[in-house]
Amino acid sequence: MPETYYFNITYACNSCCIFCAANFQGGSRRLADMQPAQFRFLLHEADVRAGDQVVINGGEPTVHPDFFEFLAALRERQAYPILFTNGVRLHEQAFTAKLAQYSPMNIRVPFFSARPQLHDRLTGRADNFAKTLAGFAQIVGMRSQGVPFEIEAKLLLCKATYLENRTTAALLTERFPNLFYFSINPLLIYDKVMRNKDRLVESFSRMREATESTIDLILSRHFLVSLDLLPFCVVAERHRALLPPLRNVPHRRWYFDPRSTTADPEARMTEQFCSEHCLPCLYCHTCKGFYPEYLELFGHAEVQPIVQEHRGDQPLCCSAEPFRATVAPKTEPSGGKRRFVVTARLPG
């Protein structure tokens, strides 16, 4: 089974989102960036192999001055890149043409509203919406010409965006052919989000009706949608055919970060449970669960273990396995050779 590795290669970014989870507060560029040599070393030591999925994230990874060196390193190992980008640089033709040289790859681009002013306000930069939409058009167009880009349009579930998602999905499905899929993503509740809590944080229950309506629209237009990152018990019964297949064992993920990859020698490996309330759930090894911060705010009432397998449990969307954001970084020396283990932040 392919492994999933997650690399934060930079804390730098060309946007300033109100819900940014990259909490780096200044410091030197060297500290903010992973170096390609370090990346190659980590790929080697982690024994990344052909077919493994490697998430390249940031910050905004495309602003890293050596961005393409990271992709070159992955190509040498025939690993599959999953690029998390805000999409702004994709509107640059030369940039996207070079990106195609490193395909196949999965590219994930967020849209926070179909209203340019709101998308720009949430991302902190004028013209972000226009650039992201133009970039998206460019990669979809390249895919239609045979470039093996797998493309995901990300919709965010938060107070500022959940009522926007349906019209955003409508716009994208009207404007582009069925050559990409959608995903619906929970909000990562970190420091900056908490500072804007009243504008951003909302319960899944309150967002449920609008979310179901968004999913219905996407499916009615014959596009696929991934719900892989949502707690599965907040997904309506009628949409559970969209969930990924059951797994019997925890899926391990590795996380590497320019600031802390070689630190924290005391961290221990844990498994992927978001809550002890999940233990009876059939999906406890498949579902990413609720973020601990969410449970601190809203309690456990929405954690409803699923005890009956969905009939015909086939995923409609084969998106690559994304990283669970509550995983913290860790490297640990073992017998002279580095071994990498994952540390999940369990709820208190």
Contacts with ligand SF4 by CB under 6 A lie at 13, 15-17, 20, 22, 58-60, 86, 123, 231-233, 274, 278, 281, 283-284, 287, 289-290, 303-306
Compute the least distance from the CB of residue 56 to ligand SF4, in Å: 13
Query: 86 vs 343, which CB is nearer to ligand SF4?
Result: 86
Query: 157 vs 217, which CB is nearer to ligand SF4?
Result: 157
Q: Which residue has the tokens 């470039």?
A: 147
Q: At what angle do helices 36-45 and 67-77 cross, to 10 degrees?
A: 20
Compute the least distance from the CB of residue 174 to ligand SF4, in Å: 25
Compute the least distance from the CB of residue 21 to ligand SF4, in Å: 6
Rounded Cα distance, 259 and 241, in Å: 39
Query: 85 vs 103, which CB is nearer to ligand SF4?
Result: 85
Compute the least distance from the CB of residue 320 to ligand SF4, in Å: 19
Compute the least distance from the CB of residue 281 to ligand SF4, in Å: 3
Report how far Cα 43 is from the mean position of its chain's Cα atoms. Answer: 20
Q: Are 118 and 89 in contact (CB under 8 A)?
A: no
The residues, any chain, with a CB within 8 Å of residue 272's CB and separated by 6 or more, are 250, 251, 285, 288, 289, 324, 344
Query: 21 vs 267, which CB is nearer to ligand SF4?
Result: 21
3-state secondary structure of 209: helix
Compute the least distance from the CB of residue 29 to ligand SF4, in Å: 15
Rounded Cα distance, 195 and 60, in Å: 22
* 27 dihedral zone (left: phi>0; alpha: psi -120 to 50; beta): left
Q: Are 201 and 18 in contact (CB under 8 A)?
A: no
Query: 197 vs 221, which CB is nearer to ligand SF4?
Result: 197
Q: What angle do CA 142, 106, 204 make, to 5 degrees?
A: 120
Query: 20 vs 43, which CB is nearer to ligand SF4?
Result: 20
User: Could you tell me the CA-to-CA distances from 224 to 159, 207, 240, 305, 337 in Å, in that order?
Assistant: 24, 20, 13, 25, 42
Query: 66 vs 332, which CB is nearer to ligand SF4?
Result: 66
Compute the least distance from the CB of residue 304 to ligand SF4, in Å: 6
Other CB atoms within a 10 A radius of the CB of residue 101 amount to 11
Rounded Cα distance, 273 and 248, in Å: 13
Strand 332-334 relative to strand 337-339, pairing = antiparallel
Query: 46 vs 107, which CB is nearer to ligand SF4?
Result: 107
Query: 250 vs 305, which CB is nearer to ligand SF4?
Result: 305
Compute the least distance from the CB of residue 233 to ligand SF4, in Å: 3
Q: At what angle do helices 93-100 and 128-144 cross, to 10 degrees?
A: 40
Compute the least distance from the CB of residue 19 to ligand SF4, in Å: 6
In the beta sheet, which residues pair with residue 225? 182
